[in-house]
Amino acid sequence: MSDYIGTATACANSNIAFCKYWGNRDATLRLPVNGSISMNLEGLFTRTTVRFQPSLALDEVVINGRETTGKGLERVVRILDIVRQAAGMDVRAEVISENNFPTGAGIASSAAAFAALALAATRAAGLAWDEAQISRLARLGSGSAARSVPGGFVEWQMGTGDEDSFAVSIAPPDHWALADCIAIVSEGHKATGSTEGHALAPTSPLQSARVADAPRRLEICRRAILERDFFALASIIELDSDMMHAVMMTSQPPLFYWQPATLAVMQAVRRWREDGLQVAYTVDAGPNVHVICPQREMGEVAHLLQQVSGVKRVLCATVGGPARLV
């Protein structure tokens, strides 16, 4: 199979975690210390083409038009190596990947990227892997990428090991017409990436309490989604996000992802909810605030967010489908 040539293109949506993943019990295998639940974001996607070519001496990775080297390249090569081994071939690949949203600002670009890579690479190598296998492979690139493989509302089970730590859909995209209005406070690259952040999580004295309480939060969140109970969802996602940021802020060294405008948006969201609007916030490893609301409120929420001082722009997404070949 040394003259193997195969190509495939896949698209995967980003996702926003409602119950978050922060900390690994095995960093190499990216086995999380707790399960997590998310919603895929329609239209905030990565499109990746993988082309195995015998003429290449090394893997080549181009992300948003720029050749990737160093750690970024190593992460992609690791996935390609697993795929080559499974397919019994040793051909290098060209990987071309494009995001349609800002990279490195808490919009989980790595989630969409590794989900699309896992699907495109396995297909290009001629492997017909099922969703769980592709989710496991995506997990090795970025934990949250496991959740961008299935569609709609998704749960990543922490599992007992590599074999059973993958994500499954708990409800399809049309189950609940929610939206995510992302208040962009900064488009810059975050100072500390999540790979380093996960490693710092156990240094916070609050992490053990956060992890011990995770099954309870996951249960409430899962039920709120299945019952389409917005106010139950609102209180659990805000608690979960605040708990993760409390861990981040108290790790050593501490990680502060919030900016003044982040807090301003969070406070405004709470005020609007007290006034009867269905809105809730959640913040990933960056300063931008994801404001979850029913799709019918999306226009009004985006308009309100634009008025908050420090908000540069608002990106809106509805509930997205699974990673797919194009």
The footprint of ligand PMV (CB under 6 A) covers 17, 20-22, 36, 108, 110-111, 142-144, 194-195, 198, 284-285
The nearer residue to ligand PMV, 110 or 251, going by C-beta atoms, is 110
Both tokens of 85, joined, read 């081994």
Nearer to ligand PMV, 8 or 16 (CB): 16
- Select 8 or 207, whichever has its Cβ closest to ligand PMV: 207
Q: Please say which residue, 105 or 111, places its beta carbon nearer to ligand PMV.
A: 111
User: Can you say whether the dihedral through the CA atoms of 104, 110, 111, 113 is positive or negative?
Assistant: positive
SS3 236: helix
78 with 69: CB under 8 angstroms? no
119 alpha-carbon distance from chain centroid: 16
Q: How far is the CB of 115 from ligand PMV (least distance, A)?
A: 11
- In the complex with ligand PMV, the residue whose CB is nearer, 248 or 302, is 248
Characterise 152 by phi-psi region: left (phi > 0), alpha (psi -120 to 50), beta (else): left
Give the nearest distance from C-beta 197 to ligand PMV in angstroms. Answer: 7
Distance CA(167)–CA(157), nearest Å, equals 6
CB of 111 to ligand PMV, least distance (A): 6
Residue 69 DSSP symbol: -
Shortest CB 226 distance to ligand PMV, Å: 20
User: H or E stretch including 237?
Assistant: helix 230-249
Other CB atoms within 10 Å distance of the CB of residue 281: 22
**Which tokens hold the place of 227?**
């019952």
Pick between residue 52 and residue 258 the one whose CB is nearest to ligand PMV: 258
To ligand PMV, the closest distance from the beta carbon of 303 in angstroms equals: 27
CB of 56 to ligand PMV, least distance (A): 28
Position of tokens 């019952």? 227
